[in-house]
Amino acid sequence: MRRLVVTENITLDGVIDAAGYWFDPNDPDVDQSDIQAVTAEHSAAADAFLTGRVTFEQMRSFWPKQVDDTTGVTDYLNRVAKYVVSSTLGDPEWAGSTVLRGPLVEEITALKSQPGVEIVTTGSITLVHALIAAGLVDEFRLFVYPVVLGTGARLFPDGRAVSALTLQEVRHFRSGVVLLRYAVQE
């Protein structure tokens, strides 16, 4: 049975939207090679990528066009099965992509029951909030950036609760980013 992993770049105060340009994986002024190495480890373990429509469309307009990507994201997205949750998207227009239109809990439960290892979702705040609320998340991988924005979409807004979390890993990176991995206890 597959596990559903939420991976987010997040500020110290819990903001995950990229407004304000606090997060740039290709910033030439910041050595992120250690983060890219860990991301490659995570990507190697994943066989499916799940996203909401808005994030999917943003990624679809960028990643398939990358030919000199040194981050490994292009190779990862070309390799894994991509699933987009949407009631309005027609043809996904990205090889290896499937549109999930049914009720969220049934669609994700079916995906998790298929043979495989990990389904990873990132960005897609509306979808992630729904996955959390439905109790479908098995792990959180949070790349915490040393930034405090004060406003913005949060991973856990008021009213969102998660049962017990168990710390699985902490990694520190040269840039000041810290990876926190938590397993969700059932």
* CATH number of the domain bearing residue 89: 3.40.430.10
Contact 122, 17 (CB under 8 A): no
Contact 149, 11 (CB under 8 A): yes
Using alpha carbons, select from 11, 12, 29 the residue that is nearest to residue 20: 11
- Alpha-carbon distance 112 to 22, whole Å? 33
Q: How many domains does the chain have?
A: 1
pLDDT at 20: 66
pLDDT at 26: 67
pLDDT at 112: 97
Residue 154's φ and ψ, nearest 5 degrees, are -110, 150
Contacts of residue 82, Cβ cutoff 8 Å, sequence gap at least 6 = 48, 49, 51, 56, 92, 94, 96, 97, 98
Domain range for 134 is 3-20+29-184
The residue-averaged pLDDT of 100-123 equals 95
Confidence of residue 2 (pLDDT cuts 50, 70, 90): very high
Looking at the predicted structure, is the pLDDT value of residue 121 above 80?
Answer: yes
pLDDT at 27: 72
This prediction's pTM: 0.91
% pLDDT > 70, the chain: 98
pLDDT at 29: 78
- Alpha-carbon distance 142 to 153, whole Å? 15
Contact 29, 162 (CB under 8 A): no
